[in-house]
Amino acid sequence: MNVAEEAFKELFPERVLPRIEIKYSGRFKDYNSNVTYRGDNFSFGLSREWEDVDASIVKGLIQHLFLKIHRKKISTMNIDLYNSFMKNLHRGIKKDKSDPFLEASFNRMNDMFFSGTLEKTNLEWGSHSKAMLANYNFHTDTIRMSKYFINAPAEILDYIMYHEMLHKKLKFKNSGGFTSHHTPEFRMLEKQYPGFKSMDNKIKAHLRSKRKPVSSIKSRPQIKAEKNTLLHWIRRLY
């Protein structure tokens, strides 16, 4: 019985064991994974990095993915180990990506809200996107910012940076296999940013003033999709 089969039986001991396979692939980014299924056939795709991780943690990852599929809330020791592993993954990640503009914003927010104690993270510009304006990647310890914020007013850049730094600081909360990133604590701390209530409108106004570079122009369906996700993003900068 492989680790995925063990993960399934511990979650659902009364069920018939389905066909399960694990594939390690270099096409995934560091510590990423997914699961696909059809009927009772499950295929788990894991990045190469998972091959060197303790089996008890990998089992927790598999259980986490199973619970997402089945929409079940179950707590296990292995899921706890997996969550702990992911929350501490940043400690072993090399910090070699930075940008003077982003680093200045990170340092301002670090001094203002974290007394300068938040560990440095990788900082980089993403693409010209209005669907994903910023995000913090736990797997690579990276804050990535949309290029629409190059030369943006400091208060806008700093607010978005602070939001992503809160993700790095607070990580996530897991309950019964369900993960929450925007917890009540997160929302409470986010509101401490000066002028918090006006920031959404300022971000919208800034984005309306920005045009996509000619080399990055997308098709009409892509543009429509961006517009439909903009309002959703503004309240969920994860």
- CATH number, domain containing residue 120: 3.30.2010.10
Total of domains in the chain:
2
Whether the predicted pLDDT of 236 surpasses 90 = no
**Residue 51 contacts residue 22 (beta carbons within 8 Å):** no
Check whether residue 98 and residue 213 sit in a common domain.
yes
The pLDDT score that the predictor gives to residue 71 is 85
Domain span including residue 61:
3-87
Check whether residue 184 and residue 79 sit in a common domain.
no
The top-scoring range by mean pLDDT among 127-141, 164-178, 188-202 is 188-202
Q: Would you place residue 238 in the very low, low, confident or very high pLDDT band (cuts 50, 70, 90)?
A: very low
Check whether residue 52 and residue 144 sit in a common domain.
no
Helix (H, G, I), strand (E, B) or coil at 208: helix
Check whether residue 146 and residue 206 sit in a common domain.
yes
Check whether residue 184 and residue 231 sit in a common domain.
yes
Check whether residue 138 and residue 197 sit in a common domain.
yes
Q: Would you place residue 196 in the very low, low, confident or very high pLDDT band (cuts 50, 70, 90)?
A: very high
Separation of alpha carbons 1 and 9, rounded Å: 10
89 by Cβ neighbours in 10 Å (0-12 / 13-18 / 19+) ranks as middle
pLDDT one-digit tens code per residue, 106-136: 999 999 999 999 999 999 999 999 888 999 9
For residue 160, which of 58, 18, 152, 29 has the smallest C-alpha distance?
A: 152
Sign of CA dihedral 233, 102, 185, 202: negative
Check whether residue 18 and residue 133 sit in a common domain.
no
Q: Would you place residue 220 in the very low, low, confident or very high pLDDT band (cuts 50, 70, 90)?
A: low
Check whether residue 83 and residue 99 sit in a common domain.
no
In DSSP notation, 140-170 reads TTEEEE-GGGTT--HHHHHHHHHHHHHHHHH
For residue 6, which of 49, 62, 53, 46 has the smallest C-alpha distance?
A: 62
**Residue 66 contacts residue 39 (beta carbons within 8 Å):** no
Check whether residue 19 and residue 124 sit in a common domain.
no
